[in-house]
Chain A
């Protein structure tokens, strides 16, 4: 038998799809975050808030938000953060809440600081506050007859005895669940996602390779699309690990996968190519319209892979991870019993 033919017999490909939904920020409880802003000398700004970066890129997101609100550049924003004795509470780094909760708090704080600056400028120029705009490091009248740098504006403001500072507190009005029937409004913003996975299965070894994942996620307004993609790619790969190889094992309560030689993680050779498309359905209940992506990015991956395995070889894996041993056992069982048992009953 020649090689290509053998390959077509032995290696099988298939595709699966899965959807997901997720709620943004803390669940079934009111959520809140605070931030302080100051338009600083030299056209820069300080933003102070209570919790930020765990790697997802929130520092950059906050800098972009502050930059747009204040008419400056992200690199001119200094973020002082993460210190319970020096910064306002922003609660925790989790629950896909940071862009939504802290991003909106920063926007509100910046708006207050900007308003304070513009008020002084309006009095100095003897025009209405509504006739002044900030952008691109400049502050000007709508008709452009007056135009100065933000740096000059801050100096002018301070010479009038005012420091342009602001604070923001953002609230997400979630309600608790009824203890009997679970009714309630656990989140005010929901996101949705869907992914397609393509797998190749070696029917002699049971090994599953995920070759491609195509992901679509609604994230609300995307602040940094490359960062969103990074969250999708990272989430997909974390889920590929859980779907195919990761398994924290204990024997009678004694851990047996205590290091990274025993606890197997995806490496560069295990990962699929990930293609993503970002859907922006803005949140109507918040100043920025942003939502989030950190967690939901990994939800559809595992079922999409498991459904793809079925498409490829006709076996359903019910327990994670879908190791080569499990896949082989399922293939053997399928071969052994041509009769498939319809598990259909009227009650559990």
Chain B
């Protein structure tokens, strides 16, 4: 398709340029004009990170063809500052600590600006509705609501602008709400994430991924892709010069599939080309012949005798089994007044950091390989890469770029190795930016668990013995499974004193998306079961679930389930503080109905209701200050 000329005004500047019609407004702003403050989080209008004003109207720029922006006035996050100073809303985000990773913040700032332009007196519920098209994965939104309300009140003059200042400028600073030192870079859009970076002579990388959950690779033919004009390098596992394999605990995953694929989305080959379109076209020219293999998708099937083997060196498909044993469970369980058992299930969960994976890789002037990526573990990745590339460790330099949310999902080195191979092959800088779809299928998930729980209790509610059996789907590769099983096991029985205990945490290979590190590393799964089960026990014993916990909590000097003697234990104080904060009414669950007196206390939001909410008439005009 032929280029066409486009004119628009961006952040007060006239722009006139010849562009390719396939570009979206977001691409034009980011790639052509290098206004990289607006972010791409999903490419589908779901997350709002790309929100900008088009003629004063809040729009998702990932949904708008650039041609539609002809002769419009565009405002982005970079246009919000007033004479080089943070505006009131930006200062309010700083004051309330409303930005964390910062990746959603440009879009969130635009949505909050739109909310206050539409109604300078918007209340919290209206603000929430107006921010409803913008996803934040870090903050829980609360401080964003507070920031918007604070800005509203300062702008309306109902609160003094002194409230935007830092509360403590004298020290000591530990214990005070010092402003985040990265806030201004996040509320102005000036912070560069890996996908925002460019270098001269930079190539673009794309990766061919497995369409099958389990298949032998019979042949990979890259010759047609390599012959294309604009293609600088095609890499496969044959380009690995050193010892292939990475992982957090064991190196069971090849940089690019070697001989077989074990999950849908596994990387097989990669192309580095002059532009993204050429790289995508070249991927289609790579021919792979597969022989599909039997697929295991349930952990209980993985451990059956004769089950298909997923990794040849692990014939039983068991990634890791962590046992904990204490006392005499069989005997004490049999003697307990009550034995209560049930099974609990948790699902795989996507980290959904708003920043999809991205990286910029290049060779330093002295030939050192450099990779800038939002890696949560550059030290570990350096070790792995040096081994894979057969380079001295100081010839590999990993730089952690700004991380747009991690939650454990950016601990795995699942693309940096591919970038390294390509850079070493073509010796030019290479950038690789995942799409949301690619990020979701290629990266590890929270481990799903099946937890069989059995507790023996005395008549009065003391825990006598505990037996916890956890089976978890590790997916196609180990990633952090070994550590996740360990933490799940150690913490499974909860902060309770238990003398007799059997815990097993077993992670197994399947052909599902790999499971890996995610915030709590197995502990939320195992303690979910424990805390639900304690309430079930309270029900069976006709007890207040609070009483049941209080009589069983660990205390100073007690031994943990791994026989570690504890020092100070704040559990009782913490628990009572939560109850006091919630103004908790003691009693048996599901026995009081609406007569329960603590329901509807302050600290609840109003429930959402069906039907349109009435807001005052909107008045929006371009360039109007928030």
Contact = CB atoms under 8 A, between A and B. Distances in A.
A71 B170 CA distance: 10
Given A83-B378, A94-B408, A318-B342, 12 more contacts: A59-B181, A182-B562, A186-B564, A194-B574, A196-B578, A224-B177, A236-B140, A237-B140, A258-B441, A259-B440, A269-B132, A281-B570
A239 B524 contact: yes
Smallest CB-CB A-B distances: 4 pairs: A253-B213, A55-B101, A182-B324, A303-B531
By size class, the interface of chain A is 35 or more
30 contacts: A13-B594, A17-B549, A20-B494, A28-B486, A28-B490, A54-B374, A54-B376, A59-B180, A60-B182, A84-B379, A93-B400, A182-B562, A191-B570, A194-B575, A196-B584, A209-B607, A218-B574, A224-B176, A230-B138, A246-B350, A252-B297, A253-B212, A253-B214, A258-B440, A260-B352, A268-B134, A269-B608, A295-B521, A302-B524, A319-B346
Contacts of A195: 578
A238 B137 contact: yes
B596 interface: yes
A92 B379 contact: yes
B18 to A, nearest CB: 32
A109 interface: no
Nearest to B46: A260
A84 B396 contact: yes
Interface stretch (B30-38, B68-76, B333-341): B333-341
Given A183-B562, A304-B531, A254 B213 contact: yes
A43 interface: no
A83 B141 contact: no
A8 B600 CA distance: 13
Contacts of A216: 574-575, 577-578, 581
Interface in B404-463: 404-408, 410-411, 436-437, 440-441, 445-446, 452, 454
Contact of A84 (B44, B347, B378): B378
A63 B181 contact: yes
B570 A348 contact: no
By size class, the interface of chain B is 35 or more
Interface stretch (B5-13, B82-90, B269-277, B512-520): B512-520
Given A250-B513, A258-B437, A307-B545, A319 B411 contact: no
Contacts of A272: 604-605
Contacts of B535: 16, 303, 306-307, 310, 316
Contact of A348 (B42, B347, B469): B469
A161 interface: no
Contacts of A238: 137, 140, 407, 519
A68 interface: yes
Contact of A68 (B127, B171, B346, B437): B171
A273 B142 contact: yes
A194 B171 CA distance: 31
B307 interface: no
Contacts of A123: none
Interface in B369-415: 370, 374, 376-380, 382, 394, 396-408, 410-411
Interface in B318-350: 322-326, 333-334, 338-350
B536 A93 contact: no
Contacts of A75: 179, 181
B126 to A, nearest CB: 11
B600 A310 contact: no
Contacts of A28: 486, 490
A255 B566 CA distance: 44
